[in-house]
């Protein structure tokens, strides 16, 4: 028997009413759908901020252009990868928006791997490696 995978949300204000919490969940869902659409269209820009001394991890920032402005989407990419909960802007002690998402691995294109892991398998199989590096 298949169980529906429940999404985990980060709701900072526990004093909110159930209606406000549901509205916040809907906002998060819409934001994530928008980011997934951007990934599928190949309109994601990535910057590798740093590589560890061992070469086994990278710190990557992700961007997109929306309404003629550059928008950082690193926290959304981190949530879609399962690295943080929705609405969280920290990975460990580091601020995702400023320092980037820490991605472990080497010997392959880690930007592609990170974006590929954001999408459900059925969609990811149809997706081509099409993104821009800064």
Would 92 be classed as within a structural domain?
A: yes
Give domain status of residue 100, yes or no.
yes
Amino acid 13: pLDDT: 47
**Residue 34 falls inside a structural domain:** yes
Structural domain including 107 reads 18-133
Residue 70's alpha-carbon distances to 32, 67, 76, 104, 108, in angstroms, are 17, 8, 15, 26, 27
Give the Cα separation of 119 and 89 in Å (integer).
20
Q: What is the pLDDT of residues 67-79, one digit of tens each?
A: 889 999 888 888 8
Domains contained in the chain, number = 1
What is the structure's pLDDT at 11? Answer: 44
Q: Identify the pLDDT of residue 10.
A: 46
Per-residue confidence band for 61, with pLDDT thresholds at 50, 70 and 90: very high
Please give the mean pLDDT across all residues of the chain: 77
Q: Let me know if residue 39 belongs to a domain.
A: yes
């Amino acid at each position: 028997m298949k169980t529906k995978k429940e999404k985990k949300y980060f709701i900072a204000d526990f004093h909110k009413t159930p209606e406000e919490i549901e509205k916040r969940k809907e906002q998060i869902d819409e934001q994530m759908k928008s980011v997934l659409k951007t990934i599928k269209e190949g309109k994601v820009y990535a910057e590798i901020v740093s590589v560890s001394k061992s070469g086994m991890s990278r710190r990557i920032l992700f961007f997109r252009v929306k309404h003629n402005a550059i928008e950082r989407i690193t926290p959304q990419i981190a949530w879609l990868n399962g690295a943080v909960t929705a609405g969280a802007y920290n990975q460990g002690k580091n601020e995702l928006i400023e320092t980037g998402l820490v991605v472990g691995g080497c010997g392959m294109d880690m930007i592609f791997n990170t974006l590929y892991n954001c999408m459900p398998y059925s969609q990811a199989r149809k997706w081509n490696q099409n993104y821009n590096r800064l």
